[in-house]
């Protein structure tokens, strides 16, 4: 049985199963990339962050081990965050979906998609944790995009600019490279401008430079139109979540006022809401927008 003999569903399942194990590796990357004293390959074996006990292979089977151990370290009972199985399931799910969407002949494109989706998952959870996007992901994307345009120009076969330049023929290297550079300029340029204006208005950093680099790299893979769509999706979801967050904090404040009948907690809670708003990372929403456009550009375009 080869790759081409498998049905669409079987291919998705095989890729999804690989995704589970890669998700386990992404957990390691998410934990170690922001830490100066560790690299992805050093130390070789994973340790419990609490008691430093080495984790055996059978305690490291994706999802299964976490469920059997009931989310606790066998040495010290440290609560293993549910993020670990979540990242494994998420990686598996998006990998399976990517394999299901693409034709079996598009395996080159599939490899690029799997790599990019994995990077987006890492960026999302590192940003939630540490309010930064690792350069390995953002600069990695900026290096990857032009290389892909050379090796796999078909990645821009649905990019309007590349199609226009190809004049009806299949999209070759030159149109793909122009679409890549234009997408990088649009993605990096817009966020850089927003950040620059925000800094003038608020007098402090309004847009992390990690976000600028992330959308710059993604822009090279999505083309100019796809990049704008990704940014729009990201902004929409982020504002919905932002409003929900403020409502939640106000709700908590009201409950507190009722319970304690104190005079000032409302003001303090409002302060909390502002702080939450200030440190609301944008990277996860960008990653979501990029992932959606990457996996379903034609549907997104039809929807707009
Ligand atoms: Zn432990």
Higher pLDDT, 303 or 164: 164
Cα 79 to ligand 1 centroid, rounded to whole Å: 8
**pLDDT tens for each residue of 247-296:** 888 888 888 777 766 555 555 555 555 555 556 789 999 999 999 999 99
Determine contact, residues 177/158, Cβ cutoff 8 Å.
no
pLDDT band at 297 (very low <50, low <70, confident <90, very high): confident
- The confidence score (pLDDT) of residue 139 equals 97
- The confidence score (pLDDT) of residue 150 equals 97
- The confidence score (pLDDT) of residue 278 equals 53
Determine contact, residues 150/173, Cβ cutoff 8 Å.
yes
Q: Which two tokens stand for residue 15?
A: 């890729």
Cα 42 to ligand 1 centroid, rounded to whole Å: 19
Cα 49 to ligand 1 centroid, rounded to whole Å: 7
C-alpha–C-alpha distance, residues 114 and 299, integer Å: 19
Residues 6 or more apart from 242 whose CB is under 8 A from it?
277, 280
Cα 31 to ligand 1 centroid, rounded to whole Å: 15
Residue 193, Ramachandran bin (φ over 0: left; ψ between -120 and 50: alpha; else beta): alpha
Determine contact, residues 87/125, Cβ cutoff 8 Å.
yes
**pLDDT tens for each residue of 157-215:** 999 999 999 998 999 999 999 999 999 999 999 999 998 998 888 877 777 889 999 99
C-alpha–C-alpha distance, residues 108 and 96, integer Å: 15
- The confidence score (pLDDT) of residue 57 equals 85
Determine contact, residues 108/24, Cβ cutoff 8 Å.
no
- The confidence score (pLDDT) of residue 107 equals 94
Cα 267 to ligand 1 centroid, rounded to whole Å: 40
Cα 51 to ligand 1 centroid, rounded to whole Å: 4
Determine contact, residues 214/221, Cβ cutoff 8 Å.
no
- pTM attached to this predicted model: 0.89
C-alpha–C-alpha distance, residues 146 and 155, integer Å: 11
Cα 304 to ligand 1 centroid, rounded to whole Å: 49
Cα 83 to ligand 1 centroid, rounded to whole Å: 17
C-alpha–C-alpha distance, residues 259 and 253, integer Å: 10
Cα 89 to ligand 1 centroid, rounded to whole Å: 23
Within the chain, where are the H helices? 8-32, 64-68, 83-101, 107-130, 135-151, 160-166, 173-202, 209-260, 265-278, 283-303
pLDDT band at 300 (very low <50, low <70, confident <90, very high): confident
Cα 67 to ligand 1 centroid, rounded to whole Å: 16
- The confidence score (pLDDT) of residue 261 equals 60
Cα 54 to ligand 1 centroid, rounded to whole Å: 9
**pLDDT tens for each residue of 218-238:** 999 999 999 999 999 999 999
**pLDDT tens for each residue of 75-118:** 899 999 999 999 999 999 999 999 999 999 999 999 999 999 99
Q: Which two tokens stand for residue 265?
A: 């907690």
Cα 278 to ligand 1 centroid, rounded to whole Å: 34
Cα 127 to ligand 1 centroid, rounded to whole Å: 25
Cα 62 to ligand 1 centroid, rounded to whole Å: 18
Residue 303 exposure: Cα atoms within 13 Å on the Cβ side: 12
Q: Name the residue among 106, 146, 14 with its Cα closest to residue 295.
A: 106
**pLDDT tens for each residue of 107-159:** 999 999 999 999 999 999 999 888 899 999 999 999 999 999 999 999 999 99
Neighbours of 5 (CB within 10 A): 9
C-alpha–C-alpha distance, residues 191 and 198, integer Å: 10
- The confidence score (pLDDT) of residue 42 equals 82
Q: Which two tokens stand for residue 174?
A: 């030159």
Determine contact, residues 177/215, Cβ cutoff 8 Å.
no
Cα 65 to ligand 1 centroid, rounded to whole Å: 14
Cα 241 to ligand 1 centroid, rounded to whole Å: 34
Cα 125 to ligand 1 centroid, rounded to whole Å: 22
Mean pLDDT score of the chain: 89
C-alpha–C-alpha distance, residues 123 and 20, integer Å: 18
The share of the chain scoring above pLDDT 90, in percent, equals 61
**pLDDT tens for each residue of 9-53:** 999 999 999 999 999 999 999 999 998 888 888 888 888 888 988
């Amino acid at each position: 049985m080869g790759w081409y003999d498998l049905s669409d569903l079987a291919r998705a399942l095989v890729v999804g199963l690989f995704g589970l194990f890669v998700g386990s590796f992404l957990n390691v990357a998410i934990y170690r990339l922001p830490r100066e004293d560790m690299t992805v390959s050093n130390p070789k074996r994973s340790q419990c962050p609490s008691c430093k006990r080495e984790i055996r292979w059978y305690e490291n089977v994706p999802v299964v081990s976490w469920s059997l151990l009931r989310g606790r370290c066998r040495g010290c009972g440290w609560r293993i965050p549910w993020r670990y199985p979540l990242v494994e399931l998420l990686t598996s799910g998006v990998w399976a979906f990517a394999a299901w969407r693409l034709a079996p002949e598009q395996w080159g494109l599939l490899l690029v998609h799997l790599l990019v989706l994995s990077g987006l998952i890492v960026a999302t959870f590192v940003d939630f944790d540490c309010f930064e996007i690792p350069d390995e992901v953002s600069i990695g994307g900026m290096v990857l995009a032009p290389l892909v345009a050379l090796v796999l120009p078909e990645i821009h076969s649905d990019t309007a600019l590349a199609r226009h330049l190809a004049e009806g023929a299949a999209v070759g290297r030159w149109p793909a490279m122009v679409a890549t550079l234009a997408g990088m300029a649009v993605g990096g340029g817009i966020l850089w401008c927003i950040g620059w204006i925000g800094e003038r208005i608020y007098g402090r950093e309004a847009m992390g430079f990690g976000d600028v680099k992330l959308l710059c790299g993604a822009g090279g893979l999505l083309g100019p139109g796809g990049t704008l769509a990704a940014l729009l999706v990201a902004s929409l979801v982020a504002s919905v979540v932002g409003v929900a967050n403020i409502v939640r904090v106000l709700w908590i404040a009201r409950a507190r006022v009722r319970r304690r009948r104190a005079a000032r907690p409302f003001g303090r809670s409002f302060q909390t809401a502002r702080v939450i708003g200030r440190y609301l990372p944008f990277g996860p929403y960008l990653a979501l927008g990029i992932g959606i456009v990457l996996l379903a550009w034609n549907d997104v375009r039809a929807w707009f």
